[in-house]
Amino acid sequence: MVAITAVASFAIPDFSFGFHLRLMRFIFIFLGYIAGFFGIGLGIFVYLCILTNLKSFGVPYMVPYAPVTNINSNGYFLEPVWRREKRADYLNTKKEKAQNHISMKWRYK
């Protein structure tokens, strides 16, 4: 578990992105000390509530997973670039369509 944690921490691209994790690590250690797995479970849920309540420039932090927005090419799996026809719902753009249905028209001439 320690090895997995160490390797996973290298997945964070920027050093400053890891600051909040350093603080949260102590909070979860404290919760684990008080109530073990139970405390960690409660901490995870409260932390999740805080994250889902956050907004970044007007866009919810956990979008498109919570709240679920239009999942065409914005969900768990991404389509190829030439198939991404709609812009993300959470951006509230003026034009929803990013490109035509057949974007590579030269292929069919």
Partner 1 sequence: MTDKKIGNFEAIALILTVIVNHVVLNLPKNIIASTSSASIINVLFISIVAVLIGYLICKLLEKFPRLDILDIASFLGGKWLKIVTGVLFLGYFLFTVSVILRSFSEGLKIIFFPRSPVAAIMILFLLAVVITNKIGFQAIIRSNLFMMPIFLFSILFIFFANIGNFTIQRMLPLFGNGTFTTFFSGLSNLFAFGGFAYLYFLPPYLKEDKGLKKITFISTITSGICLLFSVATLLFLSPNSVITEEIFPLYLASRNIQFGRFFQRLDAVFLLFWIISLTAYLSISFAFATRVFQKLLNFEYTKWYASLFALLIFGFAMIPENMYQITFIEGTIYQYVVLILIFGLSLALLIFANIKYYLLEKKKGAVSIDKAPV
Q: Tokens representing 84? A: 């991404």
Q: How far apart are the C-alpha atoms of 37 and 23, rounded to whole Å?
A: 19
**Is 10 or 77 the residue whose CB approaches partner 1 more closely?**
77
CB of 30 to partner 1, least distance (A): 13
Min dist. Cβ of residue 61 to partner 1 (A): 10
Side-chain-side CA neighbours of 92 within 13 Å: the count stands at: 4
Residue 90 or 99: which CB sits closer to partner 1?
90
Q: Which of 42, 84, 41, 49 lies closest to 66 in space, CA to CA? A: 49
Q: How far is the CB of 105 from partner 1 (least distance, A)?
A: 34
List the end-to-end C-alpha distance of the chain, in Å, as a whole number: 56
Q: What is the DSSP letter of 86?
A: B
* Residue closer to partner 1 (CB basis): 52 or 103: 52
Question: Least distance from C-beta 81 to partner 1, angstroms?
Answer: 26
Residues that bind partner 1 (CB under 8 A): 34-42, 44-46, 48-50, 52-53, 60, 62, 65-68, 89-90, 92
